[in-house]
Structure 1
Amino acid sequence: MTEASTGTLIGARTAPRPPAAAVEKGGLHLWALHGPDRDDGPTTLPTAELDEDELTRAAAFVRPLDRLRYVTAHIALRRLLAAYTGVAPGELLLSRAPCSSCGGPHGRPVITGSPVPLNFSLSHSHGLAIIGISAATVGVDVERLPSPETTQMSLPALHPREQAELGRLPPHERPAAFGRLWTRKEAYLKGIGTGLTRDLGADYLGEDRGPGAPEGPPGWTVRNVPGHPGHVAAVAVPSHTEQCGTTRRLPLKSLYAEDADELIATVKERLCTSLPAADGTALGAASGV
């Protein structure tokens, strides 16, 4: 398969359709998918839409439920990207850009040959997947709430100021605070294209002080994403992002429906996470929809 200079795929099995969904300039769309809790559900997932690398990774999971959740998250990702690009899910060419630090093959995920300039990030943990889609660079992370033991064991890896902040909290508050901090840190590292290959203690992410807070890595806005009991999540975007980040819940039936892109286009936003405007002022407020 080759690519034309315009980015249109040549030799694809189906011609790209007009995109059913679009993200506004400077905007951010966050999608949440609550995956299966058991591994004895429907077995008709369209796994043919996954590429060889995804199928290999899926087969490596020992627990059937973990395998099913991985497959579900990646089918959801491809169907969402198909809605935004007009390219069929199974024909999207997904790969990794070189790491921005070492040049290794573990940088930000990219779409090769997309007719629509688009950036995305996927994270999933224990049944919850979060997918960020933006015209700008984006990183997302989601984790299950950590245990006190995990929190204590991981503290030495953090920035000294972060260790001090967590140490001042009552012990019963530390796991949740650590989880919020850790997801902000991972979202940021995904956003800059290094992932966990970068020293976790090199950057101060600290507390999420809300819109307009000056603290944080230069040039980046990193916010926790509320609304997911039992999990903590975060998103990182360049500071010039001017819109609020809207969160939508992806219906499970969109993983099976033939008209998934039209279904996706009709989903309404549920939550708006404030991001700063170019002058540092806050836009919007967290609100149910």
Structure 2
Amino acid sequence: MGTTAYERVLSVAVAALHERDPEQLWPLLADRLPVLCGGDALIYKLDNWNESEGTLGLSPGATAEFAALTEDDMALLREGYPLARHYADRAGRAPVTARRVAGRSWPGSPTARLLDDLLDVDHVLGIPLPQSTTPVTGCMVYRSGRDFTDDEVRLAEQLQPLLSAVEQQRHLLRRLGSPSEEVADLALTPRETTVLLLLGDALTAGSIGRRLGISERTVHKHISNVYRKLGTHDRVSTVLHAQRLGLVPTATAARP
């Protein structure tokens, strides 16, 4: 990864991990990821969907075009040809392009023709979440002209841990309600908030690190910041105080 690409990835990571609204995390990625992978547009899916139901998330530049899609068009996109079958038939989740999976049959497929008419794009790069099962969740990046290069596919693979971390962050932040004025005054960062939630689930620092894809040392740094901001000195008092503030659900209290 070149220095410029690394700096761009780091910028996206920092922006995502400082976003407090869980519903804005993937729209943020959808806006910034295509250019990192040499693409023009992006679709992401996070829930279990098939040809008839489920939510498609779009990069901002593609919203208007998708608004005009018919139900048959949407079903074709949801079908995910040929990537859905490719990932369903194997355990690996390495990024791959539609052209490399389908070969010469890709340009003449109904999906390729729809994408050409809809977005004026010719190629698709699938980037699944590393731990996703069937149906596969993740995103697809689109571009016109040439297929994605080996370097762009490798960069997509290096982005997968970031996508996984953002999705984990989204799930944790969705457990929170609207912060009270008292909570807002604490100025917990989104990352500190997610660490606090996992403390409330009685996870060790090592387990929290594995869940969030960060080092145990970084977890301890976040815990120290949480203690300082909440004015507490140990895990149990921190979780109990966080419960009183509504930061940690009572049902997930840590036991003394």
Q: Structure 2 length as normaliser, TM-score?
A: 0.31
Higher relative contact order (CA 8 A, sep 6+): 1
The structure with the greater share of residues assigned to strand is: 1
Structure with max Cα Rg: 2
